[in-house]
Amino acid sequence: MRQIQLIGHVGQDATIQIWSDREFVIFSVADTENYRDKDGVSHSKTEWYNVIYTRPNLARYLTKGRFVYIQGKPENRLFQRKDGTWAIDQTINASRVELLSSGKSEQQPEQQVRAHPSAAAPALVPDKDDDDLPF
């Protein structure tokens, strides 16, 4: 079984949707990777995920900027945008959601770092060039 674990920030306030007489909470999560290339130049890459969760009572706590842990089954869907380009929709059917901090408006950034130290971990520079990898 494929599982994904993700820590990131809620992108917008969660909404509740009803499908087949069941309520679901829907929200997006941004996961940002910061790193340095072999020349020491800093880069940042953000990926967005749509999350579906079966506990609608959690919706009021899933506000923009809140730091969350998500565990669930990933599902990717290829679709064509209105402009004709192709894109991948990354959705997680969550089996577990944990609130790790308050929203950004309720807490200063340095307090968020103290609440979850791994969020402030320094970017790692690979020891070897990609050409040296055996695969």
Q: So where are the chain's domains?
A: 4-123
pLDDT per position as a tens digit, 111-131: 333 333 333 333 333 444 444
- The C-alpha atoms of residue 55 and residue 23 are separated, in whole angstroms, by 8
Give the closest residue to 58 by CA, choosing from 49, 70, 48, 46.
70
Dihedral sign computed on CA atoms, order 18, 78, 36, 71: positive
The third-level CATH classification (topology) of the domain covering 4-123 is: OB fold (Dihydrolipoamide Acetyltransferase, E2P) (2.40.50)
pLDDT per position as a tens digit, 41-92: 999 999 999 999 999 899 999 999 999 999 999 998 888 889 999 988 889 9
Give the pair of three-digit tokens for residue 8: 């990131």
pTM confidence score? 0.67
